[in-house]
């Protein structure tokens, strides 16, 4: 029921930037006091229809949080010294200091001695995304790290090698499918990942309502498993066996049917040969899933007209992350469920970076350089963060990382062996963090540069246009006034880029615009070959940075107006005018035109993946000898990785950082509900309160990530009172998914005992 809005109040509609769903929020603001009054779900948003999860309400607390940094800070005292103090400094002084120090390191040790780490919120912020790239280019370093290598890097590998684009993720068409086989995802809590589908729970209910089936494959009976038709409790890290077994059955029972893909797919016979080694009976002990069940699932996949297999973080952050991610695609291809409604499809991203039109065909961006210590391969321009600490504390002096830049990341809590990384940070010559908090990571910085908060600048969810289940476009306007003397991420990063390149921020802006224009207009192969750069510039006008970039991307994008006045295609103006967002229709088939592999074909059996199958095979034999406890992770509806823990409204309530233990394991270990357990792994040890969970597979324990607050030097008053422990004190930086180098969080061998 609409209530009358007080005269001084205004409602601004935007997207919630806190997870990939990007639900529409309506923020009511009192313009007299400039305060957030309420946050509601935007019922007119075509994407989310009013749905919100509890985190959205935390946007008010986040905006008001007194601990959120409002201006640059400089540490006084040695790095890592618990008694170090922090002083506020002006922006010019901060930029000068950072510029001087980074240039000094670069001059002394070369560009690769400066490492960057880009965290997850960057993906949810257009300014950080676009200008973060510009800044990294100005630094000139190849030692780039990001949260991708503790997340979806294996899926990017699969997309790059099979289809020719690391960001061309096949998206499960959950709105039209009748059979969803979901591995290693818990969207009832996470709200979905690599699949932007606001109100994921509602969409799953609809799937079941139309007679469709949901099968969840997870070591724990999760919130999602609980509403599924079937839950298969799989042993951690064994998905590749299960998926190979599905492929095996499809081949053996003559159920393979590629449909139109047959005309342009290579490697099917090779996959068939590989799958021969993994019949359901041979992998039953490793997966814990009965052979008969695996056979039935394979038949159901093949028999259901519209079916799709979807794997997420549980299939990526494990020892066989790349193989599992690849095999999800293999199963979809073999069962004829790629590129058709109800299967796995590719959206045409309204702001489509590098995907639409497809990039030029070529080899996957892989292994062009390697880390110094372990020789781990680069992928898509970045190195695996599991190797970051050793690149600082173990690499030869001439090669090592001397300075660190973090942007919207908290790797001390979110990457394997966080304790070692924290120690390594202490030994740096210089560190700067672009972040809104002084936390477990940024407390090691010499300077922290905080950008405006999400409500204080405009935004557009560019990355997630690439993985949405429908074509949507929504602009998020600035909700709250930009405080005096505050800087947006775009301003901070272009200023820093200018310092590194020895030019002014204005020049950085011009160079960036020119390079974006060169990709968009004026020559064959660009989306607007008949538009000249001068014409495009004139139409874009001279509005501030991020908005102009967005206008360009939207207009040149697949739904864009291509700079034609008569067109009703997208432009910033049009998207902005639709304050609740635009629905541009369902996904449509895009193959083979979208393929950008070297051969121009769908490469189902890339050599890097085929080679790794040997490791999988030898592990199958080794598995039978292992019977200890293994650790997995989980997420909570009121928690967001490591950084929403300072919002009281979300942090309060029962202890969430508990060690889940199966009751029978607990009895054997002498643990009871609420007791304190000591957990030990190769790299570390911690204690955590025990919570019994009969929904866990026996032999598996679970601890959430993102906790372990209360570090000296951090400024997180609320989080410190709900500190919890850092599960990444237990995860092992040596344990990686070999092809991608991705961190492993699932299946960590641990010993558990009463504390």
Ligand X SMILES: Nc1nc2c(c(=O)[nH]1)N[C@H]1C(S)=C(S)[C@@H](COP(=O)(O)OP(=O)(O)OC[C@H]3O[C@@H](n4cnc5c(=O)[nH]c(N)nc54)[C@H](O)[C@@H]3O)O[C@H]1N2
DSSP string, 661-677: E-HHHHHHHT--TT-EE
DSSP code, position 696: B
Per CB under 6 A, contacts with ligand X among 278-337 are 312-315, 317-318
Q: Which is nearer to ligand SF4, 193 or 442 (CB)?
A: 193
- Beta 213-217 vs 179-183: how paired, if at all? parallel
Select from 37-45, 149-157, 659-667, 736-744 the region that touches Mo ion (CB under 5 A).
149-157
Per CB under 6 A, contacts with ligand X among 58-97 are none
Q: Which of 387, 362, 384, 441 is nearest to 409 (CA)?
A: 441
Sole binder of ligand X in the list 45, 151, 339, 488 (CB under 6 A):
151
CA distance 449 to 69: 8
Q: Which is nearer to ligand X, 265 or 315 (CB)?
A: 315
Select from 153-161, 495-503, 541-549, 745-753 the region that touches ligand X (CB under 6 A).
745-753
CB of 113 to ligand SF4, least distance (A): 37
CB of 120 to Mo ion, least distance (A): 5
Q: How far apart are the first and last CA of the chain?
A: 54
CB of 267 to ligand X, least distance (A): 25
**Residue 198 contacts ligand X per CB under 6 A:** no
Q: Print the binding letters for residues 480-499 with ligand X: x by CB under 6 A, - otherwise.
A: ---------x----------
Q: 245 Cβ partners below 8 Å, 6+ apart? A: 275, 278, 279, 280, 282, 283, 287, 291, 294, 298
Q: What is the 3-state secondary structure (H, E, C) of 491-526?
A: HHHHHHHHHHHCCCHHHHHHHHHHHHHHHHECCCCC
**Residue 342 contacts ligand X per CB under 6 A:** no
Sole binder of ligand X in the list 46, 72, 411, 724 (CB under 6 A):
411
If binding means CB under 5 A, how many residues of this protein chain bind Mo ion?
Answer: 1
C-alpha to C-alpha distances, 588 to 176, 327, 338, 341, 481, nearest whole angstrom: 12, 23, 11, 7, 40
Q: Which residue is nearest to ligand X (CB)?
A: 314
Beta strands of 108-194 (E only): which ranges?
114-118, 144-146, 171-172, 179-183
CB of 193 to Mo ion, least distance (A): 6
CB of 483 to ligand X, least distance (A): 15
284 contact choice in Mo ion, ligand X, ligand SF4, none (CB below 5 to 8 Å, kind-dependent): none
* Beta carbons within 10 angstroms of residue 368's beta carbon: 12
CB of 672 to Mo ion, least distance (A): 34
Per CB under 6 A, contacts with ligand X among 450-469 are 451, 454
Select from 214-222, 391-399, 517-525, 596-604 the region that touches ligand X (CB under 6 A).
214-222
Q: Which is nearer to ligand X, 409 or 545 (CB)?
A: 409
Q: Look up residue 695 and give its two tokens.
A: 């929904």
Q: Which is nearer to ligand X, 545 or 747 (CB)?
A: 747
**Residue 149 contacts ligand X per CB under 6 A:** no
Q: Which is nearer to ligand SF4, 48 or 317 (CB)?
A: 48
* Beta carbons within 10 angstroms of residue 660's beta carbon: 21
**Residue 218 contacts Mo ion per CB under 5 A:** no
Q: Look up residue 451 and give its two tokens.
A: 């950008």
Sole binder of ligand X in the list 435, 551, 603, 665 (CB under 6 A):
435
- Chain positions contacting ligand SF4, by CB under 6 A: 16, 18-19, 21-23, 52-53, 55-56, 191, 198
CB of 176 to ligand X, least distance (A): 20
**Residue 20 contacts Mo ion per CB under 5 A:** no
Sole binder of Mo ion in the list 151, 223, 390, 579 (CB under 5 A):
151
Q: Look up residue 680 and give its two tokens.
A: 């030990």
DSSP string, 237-253: T-HHHHHHHHHHHHHHT
Q: Which is nearer to ligand X, 233 or 307 (CB)?
A: 233
CB of 588 to ligand X, least distance (A): 26
What are the counts of helices (DSSP H) followed by strands (DSSP E) for the chain?
26, 32
CB of 16 to ligand X, least distance (A): 11
Q: Which is nearer to Mo ion, 373 or 637 (CB)?
A: 637
23 contact choice in ligand SF4, Mo ion, ligand X, none (CB below 5 to 8 Å, kind-dependent): ligand SF4
Select from 137-145, 147-155, 373-381, 707-715 the region that touches ligand X (CB under 6 A).
147-155
Q: Print the binding letters for residues 625-644 with ligand X: x by CB under 6 A, - otherwise.
A: -------xxxxxx-xxxxx-
**Residue 248 contacts ligand X per CB under 6 A:** no
**Residue 147 contacts ligand X per CB under 6 A:** yes
CA distance 524 to 405: 38
CA distance 573 to 547: 10
Q: 397 Cβ partners below 8 Å, 6+ apart? A: none
**Residue 726 contacts ligand X per CB under 6 A:** no
Q: Which of 652, 720, 685 is nearest to 443 (CA)?
A: 720
Alpha helix locations (H) across 374-488? 388-393, 411-414, 418-426, 462-465
If binding means CB under 6 A, how many residues of this protein chain bind ligand X?
Answer: 66
56 contact choice in Mo ion, ligand X, ligand SF4, none (CB below 5 to 8 Å, kind-dependent): ligand SF4
**Is cis: bond before 84, omega within 30 of 0?**
no
Q: Which of 165, 98, 33, 724 is nearest to 407 (CA)?
A: 98
Provide the b/e sequence for 241-280 (b: ≥16 CB within 10 Å).
bbbbbbbbbbbbeebbebeebeeebebbeebbebbeebbb
C-alpha to C-alpha distances, 446 to 72, 115, 139, 489, nearest whole angstrom: 10, 15, 18, 18
Rounded to 5°, the CA angle 256-261-263 comes to: 110
Sole binder of ligand X in the list 26, 468, 731, 740 (CB under 6 A):
731
Radius of gyration of the chain (CA): 25
CA distance 723 to 718: 9
- Beta 470-473 vs 582-586: how paired, if at all? antiparallel
Q: Which is nearer to ligand SF4, 151 or 495 (CB)?
A: 151
Sole binder of ligand X in the list 27, 157, 189, 334 (CB under 6 A):
189
Select from 145-153, 452-460, 577-585, 708-716 the region that touches Mo ion (CB under 5 A).
145-153
CB of 299 to ligand X, least distance (A): 20
Contacting residues toward ligand X, per CB under 6 A:
19, 119-121, 125, 128, 147, 150-151, 183-187, 189-191, 193, 217-220, 222, 234, 236-237, 239, 312-315, 317-318, 407-411, 414, 434-437, 439, 451, 454, 489, 632-637, 639-643, 705-706, 727-728, 731, 745-747
Instruction: Give the interface with Mo ion as residue ranges (CB under 5 A).
Output: 151
């Amino acid at each position: 029921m609409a209530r009358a809005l007080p005269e001084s109040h205004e409602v601004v509609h935007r997207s919630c930037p806190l997870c990939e769903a990007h639900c529409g929020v309506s923020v009511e603001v009192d313009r007299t006091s400039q305060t957030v009054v309420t946050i509601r779900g935007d019922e007119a948003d075509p994407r989310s229809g009013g749905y919100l999860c509890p985190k959205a309400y935390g946007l008010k607390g986040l905006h008001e949080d007194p601990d959120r940094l409002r201006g640059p800070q400089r540490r006084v005292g040695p790095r890592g010294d618990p008694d170090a103090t922090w002083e506020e400094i002006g922006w010019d002084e901060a930029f000068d200091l950072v510029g001087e120090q980074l240039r000094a390191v670069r001059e002394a040790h070369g560009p690769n001695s400066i490492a960057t780490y880009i965290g997850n919120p960057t993906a949810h912020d257009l300014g950080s995304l676009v200008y973060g790239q510009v800044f990294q280019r100005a630094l000139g370093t190849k030692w780039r790290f990001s949260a991708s290598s503790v997340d979806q890097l294996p899926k990017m590998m699969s997309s790059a090698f099979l289809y020719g684009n690391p960001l061309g993720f096949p998206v499960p068409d959950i709105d039209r499918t009748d059979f969803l086989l979901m591995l290693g995802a818990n969207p009832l809590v996470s709200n979905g990942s690599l699949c932007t589908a606001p109100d994921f729970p509602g969409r799953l209910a609809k799937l079941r309502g139309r007679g469709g089936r949901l099968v969840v494959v997870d070591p724990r009976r999760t919130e999602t498993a609980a509403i599924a038709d079937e839950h298969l409790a799989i042993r951690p890290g064994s998905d590749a066996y299960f998926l190979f077994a599905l492929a095996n059955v499809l081949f053996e029972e003559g159920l393979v049917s590629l449909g139109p893909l047959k005309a342009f797919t290579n490697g099917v016979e090779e996959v068939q040969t590989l799958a021969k080694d993994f019949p359901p009976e041979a992998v039953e002990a490793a997966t814990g899933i009965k052979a008969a069940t695996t056979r039935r699932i394979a038949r159901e996949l093949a028999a259901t007209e519209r079916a799709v297999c979807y794997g997420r973080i549980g299939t990526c952050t494990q020892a066989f992350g790349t193989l599992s991610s690849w095999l999800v695609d293999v199963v979809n291809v073999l069962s004829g469920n790629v590129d058709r409604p109800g299967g796995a499809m590719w959206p045409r991203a309204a702001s489509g970076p590098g995907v639409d039109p497809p990039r030029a065909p070529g080899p996957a961006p892989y292994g062009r350089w390697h880390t110094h210590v372990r020789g781990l391969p680069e992928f898509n321009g970045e190195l695996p963060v599991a190797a970051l600490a050793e690149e600082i504390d173990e690499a030869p002096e001439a090669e090592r990382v001397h300075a660190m830049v973090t942007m919207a990341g908290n790797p001390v809590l979110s990457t394997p062996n966080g304790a070692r990384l924290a120690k390594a940070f202490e030994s740096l010559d210089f560190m700067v963090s672009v972040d809104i908090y002084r936390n477990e990571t940024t407390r090691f910085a010499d300077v922290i540069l905080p950008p405006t908060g999400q409500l204080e600048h405009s935004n557009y969810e560019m990355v997630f246009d690439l993985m949405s289940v429908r074509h949507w476009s929504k602009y998020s306007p600035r909700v709250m006034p930009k405080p005096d003397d505050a800087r947006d991420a775009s301003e901070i990063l272009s200023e820093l880029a200018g310092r590194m390149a020895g030019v002014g921020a204005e020049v950085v802006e011009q160079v960036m615009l020119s390079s974006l224009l060169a990709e968009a207009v004026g020559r064959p192969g660009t989306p607007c070959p008949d538009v000249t750069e001068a014409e495009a510039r004139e139409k874009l006008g001279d509005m501030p940075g991020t908005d102009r970039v967005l206008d360009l991307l939207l207009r040149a994008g697949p739904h864009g107006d291509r700079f034609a006045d008569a067109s009703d295609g997208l432009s910033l103006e049009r998207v902005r005018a639709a304050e609740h967002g635009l629905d541009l229709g369902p996904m449509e088939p895009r193959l083979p035109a979208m393929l950008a592999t070297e051969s121009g074909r769908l490469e189902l059996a890339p050599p890097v993946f085929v080679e790794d199958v040997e490791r999988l095979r030898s592990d199958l034999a080794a598995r039978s000898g292992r019977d200890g406890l293994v650790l997995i992770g989980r997420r909570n509806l009121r928690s967001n990785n490591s950084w929403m823990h300072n919002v009281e409204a979300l942090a309060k309530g029962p202890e969430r950082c508990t060690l889940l233990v199966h009751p029978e394991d607990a009895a054997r270990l002498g643990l009871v509900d609420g007791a304190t357990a000591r957990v030990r792994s190769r790299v570390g040890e911690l204690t955590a309160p025990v919570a019994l969970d009969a929904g866990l597979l026996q032999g598996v324990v679970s601890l959430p990530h993102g906790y372990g607050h209360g570090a000296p030097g951090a400024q997180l008053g609320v989080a410190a009172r709900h500190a919890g422990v850092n599960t990444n004190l237990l995860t092992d930086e040596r344990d990686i998914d070999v092809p991608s180098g991705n961190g492993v969080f699932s299946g960590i061998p641990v010993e558990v005992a009463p504390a």
